[in-house]
Amino acid sequence: MSSKPKPRILLMHPILDPGPAILAEAAEVVEYSLDLPLDEAYIRQAAEGCVGIVSQLMDPIRDGVLSTPGLKIVSNVAVGFDNIDLPAATAHKVMVTNTPGVLDDATSDFAFTLLMATARRVVEADYFARSGKFKGWAIDMMLGADVFNATLGIVGIGRIGRGMAHRAKGFNMRVLYYDPQGLPPDAEQQLGATRVELPRLLAESDFVSVHVPLTPETQHLLSTPQFGQMKKTAILINTSRGPVIDEAALVEALTSKKIAGAGLDVYEREPAIHPGLIPLPNVVLAPHIASATVRTRSEMSAMAARNMATAVRGGRPPNLLNPEVKK
């Protein structure tokens, strides 16, 4: 007697162990061809006959894909899910899951790394030393900004923003935060963070670090007027999503010295980086790697695979973003 065939799922990109084994136990895994563009029409074609898609943040999963007959779940290997049209998924009764929690520490660590690297010009200094330009100690060489005792402004006080506040304690920083949803007073006290409106945060912070999800409300949250409110000595850090910052306005603010520097892990049109950022010595640029530690990426893979496996078996996946789809 032949056993029932496993349902098919589409794996958009390879994931890390133990993710593949978890998926293979629950489903027949079809891999998206690396030669195909990440384009809705191609993804739709590849998803035909699949009950699930394991997607990543560069995959556009919108109505054209979500309307694939028989599709039940999209499991995104990321905490951010702005690449997926959630209302369209809900309308088509497709479950959407993400990977919250497991990447918080790695991402806060990296935001703080960018803050330190930009403040103390680490990348510039490394180039300088490697290229044989170091001819001897000089009192005015590579002067940077103080981090200890400085003021940190955190835009968005979710798990990763709170992680930044926690790290800032070790540097005796004064911490301000802006978030439409404030923290309970005991949490504020524990973190040593004070809630303020955005203009005040921008005016008083030496470092502004962005930790909001990308939504229509947060798109270009920081643009020309906001850069104009910042200190000329301020440094901007972004590890959230590129479009939260108006990149052209940022280039203008950096080149006209309205602000002093930026540490960026994300870009408005990834993987493209605004050409105006490339020659600037006062910016540190990373290729969207804030969650890239061995442990974190493996846990993200496992979590996404478990979300998929649970849904394929008819269950309610743990990290369901649209619970109304699965009663």
* Catalytic residue numbers, as ranges: 241, 270, 288
Tokens of 208: 């502004």
Q: Does residue 209 contact residue 155 with C-beta atoms inside 8 Å?
A: yes
Largest CA distance in the chain: 82
Q: Which residue has the tokens 């520490």?
A: 105
CB 200 → ligand GLV: shortest distance, Å? 28
Minimum distance between the CB of residue 265 and ligand GLV, rounded to whole angstroms? 8
On the CB side of 199, CA atoms within 13 Å amount to: 1
109 vs 188 by CB, closer to ligand GLV: 109
Give the residue with the Cβ less far from ligand GLV, 115 or 253: 115
Min dist CB 78 to ligand GLV, Å, is 3
Q: How far is the CB of 287 from ligand GLV (least distance, A)?
A: 12
Site residues (CB under 6 A) for ligand GLV? 57, 78-80, 103, 291
- CB distance 179 to 79 below 8 Å: no
Q: Closest CB to ligand GLV among 51 and 111?
A: 111
Backbone angles phi, psi at 142, to 5 degrees: 55, 45
Q: Which helix (H) or strand (E) holds 227?
A: helix 224-229
Kindly tell me which of 196 and 289 has the beta carbon lying closer to ligand GLV. Answer: 289
Q: Which amino acid does the sequence have at 8? A: R
Q: How many CA atoms lie within 13 A of 149 on its CB side?
A: 2
